[in-house]
Amino acid sequence: MTVKVEPFKIKVVEPIKLISKNERLKKMEEARYNIFRLKGEDVYIDLLTDSGTSAMSDHQWAGIMEGDESYAGSKSFFNLERVIKKITGFEYVVPTHQGRPAENILFSQLIKPGDVVPGNAHFDSTQAHIIHKGGKAVNLLLDEAYDPKTYHPFKGNVNIEQLENLIKSQRDNIPFFLMTVTNNTIGGQPVSMENLRRTRKLLSGFGIPLYIDAARFAENAYFIKLREPGYGEKEVKDIVREMFSYADGCIMSAKKDGLVNIGGFIALNDKKLYEQCCELLILLEGFITYGGMAGRDLEALARGLEEVIEEDYLAYRIDQVNYLGKKLDDAGIPIVQPPGGHGIYIDAKSVFPRIPQSQFPAYTLVVEMYIEAGVRAAEIGSVAFAKKDEITGKTDYPRLELTRLAVPRRVYTYRHMDFVAEGVIHVAKKKDKVKGFKIAYEPKTLRHFLADFARVE
C-alpha cells in the first residue's frame, strides 16, 4: 500500500467553523490586523504554532485522571523523572511549566553580563533570555540555511568554522553553546549527528559545555534516521540517546515534542548546577517535584515523551508536513527546502516580490491567508526580527522573510492540509493586487505580539 494514513483513530472531535469572508475581513480590522488578537473560534485551521497545541492520546488522558497532585513527592513527578532519565541519559531533572522558565533558570546560573552565547539558531524567547542576563546571542548557521531553494539534508547544522573563530577570539566570555534541534527560526531544519559530534569535540578542547534546546528532539532524531548514513537501521530511541550523549544537559519546551499542552524541564549531569537551579525553581515556579505543573500534567508529559519517539508516529508526522510542502511546491509556491519537521516555511519575498521588507511581505501573507481561507499562520520575518538602530535610525532586516505554517501534532488530517494548500495558492495568484503593511503602534520588546498594523495605501 502506498497511501499514508494517520496512525490513530479519532475518539473525540472539536468542531471547527469557517466564518464568511466578510466576517473574516471584519475580524481582522477589529484585531487591528494583529493575528494574535484574533479569537481561536474565528480561525478555521490554526497553524499559528505547534506549541501546546498537540492532541493527547487516550493513554495520556488516562494519565490525567491518575495524576498525583501531592505538593511534594508526587508519584507523577517520579514517573516523569524516570522517563526523562531513560530517554536523555541525564542524571537530574528540574520540571518547569514551559520552555522559557527553563531558559530563565538555567541561564541565570550560567550567563554573566558581557558573555557571548553561540548557538546554531536561538529561538526568540531564548535570545531574549540571553539578552536579559546581559549576554549576547550569536547564531552561526551554514550559508545554505539562508537560501530557501538550496537542498541540504541538515540545514540546522552549526557552522563549525565560524564557531571555532568565535571561540578563539572570545574564549573567556563564552559560558556555553546551545544547539537547537530542530532549528525553529530558519525552517524547522535538523542538525546531523556528525555536526553534534564535531561541535562537542571542538567545545571540549576549550572546556565549553554544550546544551541542547530539545523542543523538537524526536523530529530531529527521525531526520537523522532518514538522511544520515549509518543511522537508517538504528532505532529512534538509540539515536535520541546518542544525540544527548554529546551534551552536558538540555532545556525543553515540552509543549512541542512532549505531546502535551503545557510543560517543560531542564535535565543535567552536574549536581551542583542542579542544586542551584532547584533553589531558583522554588522561587520562580514551585517545589522541585512539580515546578509549576499540576500532577496530571507531569503524568501526561511522562507518557507523551514515550509516544513521541514511536516510529510509526514520527513517520506519519514527518510525512504529513512533507505532504503539505509538496502540494505547495508542485503549485510553484516557494518554500524553504527541504520541508521542515514541524511546519512549512514559505519564502514570502518570492511570493510578493513587489512588497519591500519595510512593508512586511511575510506578515502580509499571514493576513491574506486568514482573509482568504480562515487559516492562521505565523510570521518569522521583519515584524519579529528587524532591528532599528536607535542612534542612526537605520533598520537592519533579517536575511529571510518567512511565513510559517506550523502543523499541530495529531490534530489535523491530510485533508486539512489540502485545504491549507488551496488557500495559499489562491493568495499567491493575487500577488500583484496585494498591498503591504505598516506598523501603527509597537511595544518596546517582542513587538509582534502586541503591535497594531495598517495597510499601506
Give me the active site residues, please: 71, 123-124, 213, 215, 256, 448
Q: Which of residues 93-112 bind ligand PLI (CB under 6 A)?
A: 98-100
Closest CB to ligand PLI among 253 and 289? Answer: 253
Q: Is 125 in the site for ligand PLI (CB under 6 A)?
A: yes
Peptide bond into 392 cis (omega under 30): no
Q: Is 123 in the site for ligand PLI (CB under 6 A)?
A: yes
Q: Is 209 in the site for ligand PLI (CB under 6 A)?
A: no
Closest CB to ligand PLI among 196 and 428? Answer: 196
Over the window 12 to 51, marking each residue x when it contacts ligand PLI by CB under 6 A and - when it does not, the resulting string is: -------------------------------------x-x
Provide, rounded to whole angstroms, the least separation between the CB of residue 165 and ligand PLI.
25
Q: Look up cell 530557501; give the residue.
A: 148
Q: How far apart are CA 407 and CA 377, in angstroms?
A: 10
> Which residue stretch of 7-15, 123-131, 297-305, 333-341 sits at the interface with ligand PLI (rule: CB under 6 A)?
123-131
Cα-trace Rg, the chain = 22
State the first-to-last Cα distance of the chain, in angstroms, to the nearest integer: 53
Cell numbers representing residue 355 in the block: 512588497
For CA atoms 192, 248, 107, 217, give the dihedral sign: positive
How is 226-257 classified by DSSP, letter by letter? HHSTT-TTS-HHHHHHHHHHT-SEEEEETTTT
Applying CB under 6 A, among 46, 213, 257, 372 the residue interacting with ligand PLI is: 213
Q: How far apart are CA 268 and CA 274, in angstroms?
A: 7
**CA 61 to chain centroid:** 24
Give, for 427, the enclosing helix (H) or strand (E): helix 414-429
Applying CB under 6 A, among 60, 76, 157, 180 the residue interacting with ligand PLI is: 180
Closest CB to ligand PLI among 335 and 428? Answer: 335
Total residues contacting ligand PLI by CB under 6 A comes to 15
Residue with smallest beta-carbon separation from ligand PLI: 99
Question: Minimal CA–CA distance to 256: which of 443, 30, 386, 411?
Answer: 411
Provide, rounded to whole angstroms, the least separation between the CB of residue 226 and ligand PLI.
21
Provide, rounded to whole angstroms, the least separation between the CB of residue 101 and ligand PLI.
7
Q: Is 53 in the site for ligand PLI (CB under 6 A)?
A: no
Q: Is 264 in the site for ligand PLI (CB under 6 A)?
A: yes
Question: Minimal CA–CA distance to 406: which of 53, 38, 148?
Answer: 53
**CA 397 to chain centroid:** 21
Q: Is 253 in the site for ligand PLI (CB under 6 A)?
A: yes
Contact residues: ligand PLI, CB under 6 A:
49, 51, 98-100, 123, 125-126, 180, 184, 213, 215, 253, 255, 264
